[in-house]
Amino acid sequence: MKVGLIGHRGAGKTTIFNMLTGLQAQTGGFGGKEEIHLGVIKVPDARIDKLSAIFKPKKTTYAEIRFTDFPPSEGEENLKSNQAMVAQMREVDAITLVLRDFGADAKPIKELTDLMTEMILADLAVVENRRSRLKKEKARPQEEALLARCADALDNEQSLRALSFSADEESLASGFGFLSRKPLLVIFNEPEEQAGKPLDPAYQQELNRRGLQGLALAGKVEMEIAQLDENDRVGFLKEIGIDEPARERFIRASYALLNLISFFTAGEDEVRAWTITQGTVAKKAAGKIHSDIERGFIRAEVVAYEDFIVYGSEAKCKEAGKLRLEGKEYLVKDADIIHFRFAV
């Protein structure tokens, strides 16, 4: 999963990046440099820990989230004019908007509106350019109709995520990487004294009105928490009255936003989590491991994680009738432990 962080200068975006990744990228408006920061985190999963304790594999591999911290936005012209940066933004799976809610002059809802407008304008430029080129090419009625719908919505300051697309339209639209169609998570960066407190009801109401999801967190405090070792972290969280680090809440919210689940492969060589979209069939899930497994798919041997923990081994699960053989159209469930049979 690739997540891009976007925000205005001074919103604390790089502080949030450091909180999420545990890195120490320079904060404070990038020090005047227009740099992109990259970071990867392993997604904590107690189920993987438990399976590793049972199998004692040579290798344990967690799911990963890749973060890109983009340079701060400077108003409506920023995204329209910086096409190289926008091109990289279009490659992410989801966007996180970081809004400043600390300081007497904080106006997070205005920042939200401004940033969403920037994305709409950037998408409108793409649509207009493509429509202009299509006039010189062979007629493509389906694409032309899609772009006309998109242009109409964008002209009316409507994000493209509000539109319903058919499967064919979705396939066409995916090639453009429209920013205003990407799943969006909004972070309200709060002052230190608000650490651990829920999102302001007025902000939640505004997000509900826009059909968005959001989190409140105190970035500076949470960055300090992320950079502590495990023992110190537990004690510090207890001292300041926070139940869990904001990073855990962010990961859950991101998985829910993208409708993601994990299935597992487990054995003596490796225990591994694989991230897929909910509703993925077994044959497609096999392709996450290797395209050869998808092409040669025969059957999936499946046992639910909960059943495996109860019975303790594949053999005992089989004796209890908990090990199932599923076909290519089986809908993989969260925490399924799967062994794929395939022909080379």
- Report the candidate in 40, 34, 15, 33 with the shortest Cα–Cα distance to residue 25: 15
CB 48 within 8 A of CB 104: no
Summarised one tens digit per residue, pLDDT across range 162-177 is 999 999 999 999 999 9
- The domains of the chain are located at 2-45+63-124+175-255, 279-342
- Amino acid identity, residue 306? E
Summarised one tens digit per residue, pLDDT across range 38-55 is 999 999 999 999 999 999
Task: Please identify, in words, the CATH class of the domain defined by 279-342.
Answer: alpha beta
Query: pLDDT-derived band of residue 37, with 50, 70 and 90 as boundaries?
Result: very high
Q: pLDDT at residue 99 above 70?
A: yes
Q: pLDDT at residue 80 above 80?
A: no
> pLDDT averaged over the chain?
92
Summarised one tens digit per residue, pLDDT across range 235-290 is 888 888 888 888 899 999 999 999 999 999 999 999 999 999 999 999 999 999 99
Any idea which residue has 């545990």 for tokens?
22
Which tokens belong to 15?
């502080």
Q: pLDDT at residue 335 above 70?
A: yes
d(CA 73, CA 155): 21
Summarised one tens digit per residue, pLDDT across range 139-168 is 789 999 999 999 999 999 999 999 999 999
Any idea which residue has 């002059």 for tokens?
105
Alpha-carbon distance values, 166 to 67, 243, 246, 284 (Å): 30, 42, 36, 20
Any idea which residue has 């890749």 for tokens?
66
pLDDT of residue 240: 82
Any idea which residue has 């299509």 for tokens?
134
More confidently predicted of 333 and 29: 333
d(CA 111, CA 263): 38
Other C-beta atoms closer than 10 Å to the C-beta of 329 total 9
d(CA 158, CA 172): 19
Q: Helix, strand, coil shares of the chain as percentages rounded to 5? A: 45, 20, 30
Number of separate helices (H) and strands (E) present in the chain: 15, 12
Which tokens belong to 93?
């799976």
Other C-beta atoms closer than 10 Å to the C-beta of 250 total 22
Q: pLDDT at residue 190 above 90?
A: yes
pLDDT of residue 28: 66
pTM of the model: 0.88
- Report the candidate in 242, 238, 280, 278 with the shortest Cα–Cα distance to residue 257: 278
pLDDT of residue 32: 52
Which residues are 261's β-sheet partners? 276
- What DSSP letter does each residue of 61-74 carry, written as one string? E--EEEEEEPPPB-
Residue range 2-45+63-124+175-255 in CATH 3.40.50.300: yes
Which percentage of the chain shows pLDDT scores above 70?
A: 96
Q: Could you give the 3-state DSSP secondary structure of residue 42?
A: strand
